[in-house]
């Protein structure tokens, strides 16, 4: 199932949101989030904000208006 999740990111320059991933996998967002978190921890995916910038290097995640309104997106790590 992790391979299926990673496969969703092919040709997706702007990444995918949690809801887009859950919809594509026909799974509950909570189940998909656990897999995403594992892939982020292993360095396979990175978290990006809705503006395409990397959330982990910004340092303003708790105060980000864009993130609060639109949520995180995920994409394949470089």
Q: What is the pLDDT along the chain (78 residues), one digit of tens a residue?
A: 788 888 888 877 778 888 889 999 999 989 999 999 999 999 999 887 654 555 555 555 555 555 444 567 888 888
Domain residue limits at 42: 2-76
pLDDT for res 28: 93
- For helices 18-25 and 29-41, give the axis angle rounded to 10 degrees: 110
CATH of the domain at 27: 1.10.10
Measured from the Cβ of residue 48, the count of other Cβ atoms closer than 10 Å reads 19
The pTM of the full predicted model, rounded to 2 decimals, is 0.71
pLDDT for res 32: 92
Report residue 76 as tokens.
């394949």
pLDDT for res 69: 45
Q: Per the structure, how many domains does the chain have?
A: 1
Given the DSSP bridges, would you call strands 16-17 and 73-76 parallel, antiparallel or unpaired? Answer: antiparallel
pLDDT for res 39: 92
């Amino acid at each position: 199932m992790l391979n299926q999740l990673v496969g969703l990111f092919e040709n997706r320059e702007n990444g995918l949101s949690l809801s887009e991933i859950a919809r594509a996998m026909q799974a509950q967002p909570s189940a998909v989030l656990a897999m995403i978190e594992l892939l982020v921890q292993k360095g396979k995916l990175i978290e990006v904000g809705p503006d395409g910038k990397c959330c982990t290097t910004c340092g303003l995640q708790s105060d980000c208006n864009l993130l609060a309104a639109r949520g995180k997106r995920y994409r394949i790590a470089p």
